[in-house]
Amino acid sequence: MALIVQKFGGTSVGNVERIQNVAKKVAQFVDEGHQVVVVLSAMSGETNRLTMMAKEMQTRPCKREMDVLLTTGEQVTIALLSMALQQKGYPAISYTGWQIPLTTDSSHSKARIEKIDGDKMLDQLGQGKVVVVAGFQGINIKGDITTLGRGGSDTTAVALAAALNADECQIYTDVDGVYTTDPRVVPEAKRLDMVTYDEMLELASLGAKVLQIRSVEFASKYKVPLRVLSSLKEGGGTLITTEDNFKDTEMEQPLISGIAFSRDEAKLMILGVPDKPGVAYQILGPISDANLEIDMIIQNQGIEGTTDFTFTMSRADAEMALEILQSTANHLGAREVTMDDTIVKISMVGVGMKSHAGIASTMFKTLADNEINIQMIGTTEIKISVVVEEGHLDLAVQSLHTAFELDK
């Protein structure tokens, strides 16, 4: 017997029939002798419907009231699923965030979890009940309703799993796991049985949008085994866990787990900056002050005592960053500022690469063989990222996928 936390998203509870399907899925696990805590999102579309009404009421809706409004979404689904389970003969009880209570800080619309009281849930589980909890929501110290922000239900599920010391946290989505890369680009992409938290963080942040980054961080911090599964298809999905668990299995750790990529990239360059200490801060400070996030940063020696900076960021922010950068350039007496929003980033991810120096050279050779020019390179312990011209994306990902035998 295990204690399992299962999270179902908005699509999985999008109408009466789908909620009944979730009840069926939960019932399977109860029949196998497990204790189950279910975390639900609002019905798909509901959050948008409520947000539309709020915007008709107030130009910039009050965040406290917005949280009061939006949390009704999960309150509806938890009541309905509890009824559906009871109808099938499985005792069930629902809890909103404040009923748990799941205590957060006071940042309405993006609150952080501070404390979860597991007593009520454990008591109900002990009585043989399925506990159905509203995701995404909590309560602050003043007794106000808070929300964790979009996708916060994943975080709720992982946090509950940590608080209850659950054996596994299962996230049901519309895909059946994490793939070696996007199957729309490489039809031969394979589902990964297991991946480490660190790999998942790199894969998630780079575009394989299966899980909220925050929930993976949370799972990693509290060592909660996290499994991504399909709510429609049967199958074991992908288990996200610690590196140690790989060692426990007979499986050989692959060098590369997957290839992530992002089409939403722009490259900005500021050239011929007089090279003085503190110049990097003078350039990047104003951009960061404008709340624009920078991804890769490269600094090169320029000509005659000057230096060149290149960095990447989201395309949506690039125009605004360009303006800031031009004003900085005038101020510092830099030669030139350019922007290119026709680039993409491709990243090879794998904990195995730590001990294998050959990964980078194989990657660069593969791209060279396909006449793909590399514009920028960045590395971390478990990732190598390259920036290439956007027209090369599909060919680059496909050839790398083959070169690293990810389709085997």
233 secondary structure, DSSP code: S
Angle between helices 72-87 and 46-57 (to 10 degrees): 150
The string of DSSP letters for 79-124 reads HHHHHHHHHTT--EEEE-TTTTTEEE-S-TTS--EEEE--HHHHHH
Report the run of H or E that residue 47 belongs to, with start and end. Answer: helix 46-57
Choice between 73 and 177, CB closer to a second copy: 73
Query: Does position 75 bind a second copy by CB under 8 A?
Result: yes
Query: Restricting to residues 5-24, which ones interact with a second copy according to CB under 8 A?
Result: 16, 19-20
Complex with a second copy: residue 76 or 296, whichever CB lies closer:
76
CB of 22 to a second copy, least distance (A): 11
Q: How far is CA 106 from the centre of its chain?
A: 23
| Contact predicate 40/68, CB 8 Å | no
Binding to a second copy (CB under 8 A): which residues in 31-60? 50, 53-54, 56-59
Q: How far is CA 340 from CA 192, 262, 384, in A?
A: 34, 15, 21
Least distance in angstroms from the C-beta of 213 to a second copy: 29
Q: What part of residues 105-164 is at the interface with a second copy (CB under 8 A)? A: 143-145
The residues pairing with 346 across neighbouring beta strands, listed in sequence order, are: 261, 386
Distance, CA of 334 to CA of 272 (rounded, Å):
5
**In the complex, what is the shortest distance from the CB of residue 7 to a second copy, in angstroms, rounded to a whole number?**
19
> Nearer to a second copy by C-beta: 143 or 277?
143
C-alpha closest to that of 322 among 269, 387, 280: 269
Per CB under 8 A, the list member of 41, 96, 156, 215 interacting with a second copy is: 96
**In 3-state terms, what secondary structure has residue 129?**
coil
The answer to whether the CB of 22 falls within 8 A of the CB of 8 is yes
Smallest distance, a second copy to C-beta of residue 398, A: 46
Report in angstroms how near the CB of residue 252 gets to a second copy at its nearest: 48
Structural tokens at position 85: 């389970």
Query: Whose Cβ is closer to a second copy: residue 59's or residue 361's?
Result: 59
Least distance from a second copy to the Cβ atom of residue 173, Å: 23
Q: How far is the CB of 119 from a second copy (least distance, A)?
A: 12
Of the pair 20, 107, the CB lying nearest a second copy is at 20
Between residues 77 and 180, which has the closer beta carbon with respect to a second copy?
A: 77
Collapsing DSSP to helix, strand or coil, 30 comes out as: helix
Binding residues for a second copy (CB under 8 A)? 16, 19-20, 50, 53-54, 56-59, 61-62, 64-66, 68-69, 71-72, 75-76, 78-80, 82-84, 86-87, 93-94, 96, 98-99, 143-145
